[in-house]
Amino acid sequence: MFNVVRVVHFDESASTADCAEYVDTVRIAAKELDTLGHFVAPTLPGVINGGNVLVHLRFPSAEIAARHIGDFDVTLRTPPAMYVDGVGYPASSAHRRPDEPHTVYRALLVRVDPDASVEAVEEFEGDLLKMPGYIPSIVAWRLSRVADSVGRTEWTHVWEQEFTDHDALMGQYLNHPVHWSIVDRWFDPECPEVIVRERVCHTFCAVDDIAIE
């Protein structure tokens, strides 16, 4: 399976009606793709460089994704969209807590310094994957290396989670000691271990069904 995530950033002057029409248009375009599943949803309050619309597409293969995504990206870049961030990546099976509620999908797009050592990158990845062991509101998760990237940043990783609810993401997750004492060192320019040196894209939206499979 090959997944594609797109984060659409609107022109700030766009009207509510134009934004709603755009979302409807993109949803229709997504339904016409040869996907195994998809969603198109407005982002929720609290995103950081997270845009206004979050799109998630699951394709059977990278080859099928490549046949469709070019034309779909043209649709995404029509007004009121100002620019689009995004990644494509081979999707491994997700980790999941069975029978737990899940109402929010979150994706963190990051660019790791290309000069970072292999050992540092692997330790960074390992620290991210430790988080669900401490944070029970993360009910599904997957960390992937990016195969292709679009937008202003050459993304290298996508860290996906499903949360029980919006409050859990904004509270328990962001304020948890494992976040600021272990993981933040990779992002903080004042820490010697820092390897994420560019802006991140922290984006999330409401979901009704399983987003990470």
pLDDT per residue as tens digits for the range 1-45 = 999 999 999 999 999 999 999 999 999 999 999 999 999 999 999
Burial 79-97 (b: 16+ CB within 10 A, else e): ebbeebbbbbbebeebebb
Contact at 8 Å (CB) between 41 and 205?
yes
Residue 8's nearest CA partner among 58, 71, 54 is 54
| In the predicted structure, residue 100 carries a pLDDT above the cut 90 | no
d(CA 202, CA 97): 23
> Which contacts qualify for 188-197: CB closer than 8 Å, 24 or more apart?
193/120, 195/112, 195/113, 195/116, 195/120, 195/121, 195/124, 196/110, 196/111, 196/112, 196/113, 196/124, 197/111, 197/113
pLDDT per residue as tens digits for the range 103-156 = 999 999 999 999 999 999 999 999 999 999 999 999 999 999 999 999 999 999
pLDDT of residue 185: 93
pLDDT class for 92, splitting at 50, 70, 90?
A: confident
**Proportion of the chain above pLDDT 90, given as a percent:** 86
pLDDT of residue 209: 80
Cβ neighbors of 24 (< 8 A, separation 6 or more) are: none
pLDDT of residue 134: 93
pTM to 2 decimals?
Answer: 0.95
Q: What average pLDDT does the chain have?
A: 94
| In the predicted structure, residue 213 carries a pLDDT above the cut 90 | no
pLDDT class for 204, splitting at 50, 70, 90?
A: very high
Exposed/middle/buried for residue 100 (C-beta within 10 Å: 0-12, 13-18, 19+): middle
pLDDT of residue 39: 95
Containing H/E element for 132?
Answer: helix 118-134
3-state secondary structure of 63: helix
Contact at 8 Å (CB) between 11 and 172?
no
Average pLDDT over residues 167-190: 90
Q: Which residue would you say has higher pLDDT here, 98 or 207?
A: 207
Q: Which domains does the chain carry?
A: 2-206 (3.30.70.100)
- The least confident of 65-69, 186-190, 207-211 is 207-211
pLDDT of residue 211: 81
